Amino acid sequence: VQRARIIEDYTQPQINDALRYTLRSERVNPLRREEGYSYESAIEIGGSLMAGLDRFVFSPDSVEGSLPGLPLFRRDGSTQRLIYRPYLRARTDLRRYIKLSPRRVLAWKTIVGFAQPTGQSDVVPFDRRFFSGGAFSVRGWGIGQLGPGAASLGEANEAQRSETTNLLGGDVKLEGSIELRDIVFRNVLAAQWIFALFTDVGNVWFGPTNPGFDTAESGGTSGKFNFGTVYKEVGVGSGVGLRIAWEYLIIRFDLAYKVYDPARRSDGIVPDGLRSPVLHFGIGHAF
């Protein structure tokens, strides 16, 4: 089901609309991020205009979940219907920076996100889902490789494994990070050299209306959010990093390890050992 929807998202003509409201407050240097805070909350309603056109203009007696297309780029002049998926999406991001000394900064962030389909579809559009893992997320994993939940195919082949990776995204996101930054050298190559210790936690899950995975193929879990098991399904990554900070540019290198992998709970702490770190490169601080 999940793969079929992703293929549909990328191969079928679609149309959508979105109404978004964002509340943002920030009192911190956007580059240095040494002291202050950053807060952002956003709510987004998508597909409501398309649903209205479908319901009251194109198909008054029913809701088709798609609109008539145009005979563009088709030699036979036929039309292909345009799929739309109504949804509601909300996200909150809070970041705090505390200057412990002239050389040391403690930073932390929390992110909470939720997306819910509001029409006949039971999934949120792919590009409006949440992802976890990567240089600006839980750094013990590659981009989008964490989750959903504790889903895993164990010894399945690679083709099957791709069915249950977080490249599908999720409807619920919980994430937090804490990082200690310490200036170890000043004015070396006209830059500050900053050493960092960090720990990231988080994951994404499918929402209540998402069909999720077949538990027989995903390690006994559907990948759906459940308050009773969420504490077991939060991935933990830790590591060290180096930031080279010029006046107008910061280059970042992070070396991170999986400390706890919810998809491999039986493997214990640091399941990949210390010989398999994940290296990230980025411009600017991770948060």
pLDDT digit string, tens, across residues 156-177: 444 444 444 446 789 999 999 9
Q: What is the pLDDT of residue 219?
A: 59
Chain-centroid distance of CA 142 in Å reads 11
Does any domain span residue 15?
A: no
Name the DSSP class of 224: B
In a domain, 72, yes or no: no
pLDDT (mean) for 230-255: 97
Residue bearing the bigger pLDDT, 65 or 101: 101
Length of the chain: 287
Res 114 pLDDT > 60: yes
pLDDT per position as a tens digit, 123-134: 888 889 999 999
Radius of gyration from C-alpha coordinates of the chain: 22
Contact between 206 and 225 (Cβ < 8 Å): yes
**Burial of 69: CB neighbours in 10 Å, binned 0-12, 13-18, 19+:** middle
112 located within any domain: yes
Percent of the chain with pLDDT over 70: 82
Distances (CA, A) of 138 to 56, 195, 198, 236: 44, 18, 10, 7
Residue 20, domain member (yes or no): no
Mean pLDDT of the chain: 85
- Whether 193 has a pLDDT exceeding 90, the answer reads yes
Domain contains 185: yes
Q: What are phi and psi of 137, to 5 degrees?
A: -135, -135
- List residues bridging with 130 in a β-sheet: 170
| pLDDT of the residue at 85 | 85
Domain encompassing residue 253: 25-45+90-283
Please write the tens of the pLDDT for every residue from 18-42. Answer: 999 999 999 999 999 999 999 999 9
Kindly state the average pLDDT of the residues 49-56: 78
Cα 113 to Cα 98: distance, rounded to the nearest angstrom: 25
pLDDT tens per residue, range 208-232: 888 777 665 555 677 889 999 999 9
Q: Which residues contact 83 (CB under 8 A, 6 or more apart)?
A: 8, 12, 13, 14, 15, 65, 66
State yes or no: pLDDT of 155 exceeds 60: no
**Looking at the domain assignment, is residue 83 inside a domain?**
no
Per-residue pLDDT for 48 more than 90?
A: no
Is residue 243, in this structure, part of any structural domain at all? yes
Start-end of H helices in 79-161 = 158-161
| pLDDT exceeds cutoff 70 at 63 | no
CB 200 within 8 A of CB 140: yes
Q: How many other β-carbons are positioned within 10 Å of the β-carbon of residue 16? A: 18
Domain count, the chain: 1
Is 251 in a helix, a strand, or coil? strand
Q: Per-residue DSSP letters for 2-34?
A: HHHHHHHHHHS-B---EEEEEEEEEES-TTT--
pLDDT at 67: 75
CATH of the domain at 102: 2.40.160.50
Can you name the residues that pair with 235 across neighbouring β-strands? 202
Query: Can you tell me the mean pLDDT for 3-27?
Result: 80
- Note whether residue 7 is domain-resident: no
Mean pLDDT of 73-91: 73
Running DSSP on this structure, what letter comes out for residue 158? H
Inter-residue contact 287 to 95 (CB < 8 Å): yes
* Interval 227-251 mean pLDDT: 96
CA 122 from centre of chain: 19
Q: Where are the alpha helices (DSSP H) in the chain?
A: 2-11, 48-53, 158-161
> Does 44 or 53 have the greater pLDDT score?
44
